[in-house]
């Protein structure tokens, strides 16, 4: 049996206005995203990677706060605490909505997220 906690993650990817913590259990990785108000993927992650849009698939659960997934076709979907989400690997941007930090768990795309 293996027990782990995000208080001691296996990896932390720091970015301006946020962090992405990863816990690995065998061949499975779970991510926890914590983004502060004002965080935007294209600015706080994409700019340092030379990417305008995120292309990573995401499956997860919003623990607190609100954020968007905004697609090239103009669709902007807001995710809030309690929502279970699937974001396909289509080009998208994302940003925190409101004055509360956004926290979510990620069950897919974890290894690729915020990496060139």
**CATH number for the domain harbouring residue 18:** 2.60.120.10
Provide the H-helix boundaries in 1-116.
Answer: 41, 47-49
Question: pLDDT class for 112, splitting at 50, 70, 90?
Answer: confident
Q: Which tokens go with 13?
A: 């990817």
Regarding pTM above 0.75, the answer is yes
Q: Give the model's pLDDT for residue 72.
A: 95
| pLDDT tens column, 78-87 | 999 999 999 9
Question: What is the tens place of the pLDDT at every residue in 54-75?
Answer: 999 999 999 999 999 999 999 9
Q: Which domain holds residue 92?
A: 11-79+87-108
Question: Which residues, 6+ apart, have CB-to-CB distance to 52 below 8 Å?
Answer: 42, 46, 91
Domain tally for the chain?
1
């Amino acid at each position: 049996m293996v027990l782990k906690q995000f208080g001691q993650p296996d990896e932390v990817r720091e970015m301006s206005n946020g962090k992405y913590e990863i816990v690995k259990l065998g061949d499975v990785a779970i991510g926890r995203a914590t983004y502060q108000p004002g965080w935007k993927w294209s600015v706080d992650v994409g700019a340092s990677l030379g990417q305008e849009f995120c292309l990573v698939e995401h499956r997860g659960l919003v623990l607190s706060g609100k954020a968007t997934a905004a697609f090239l076709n103009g669709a902007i979907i807001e995710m809030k605490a309690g929502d279970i989400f699937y974001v396909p690997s289509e080009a998208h941007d994302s940003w925190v909505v409101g004055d509360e930090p956004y926290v979510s768990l990620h069950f897919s795309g974890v290894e690729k997220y915020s990496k060139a």
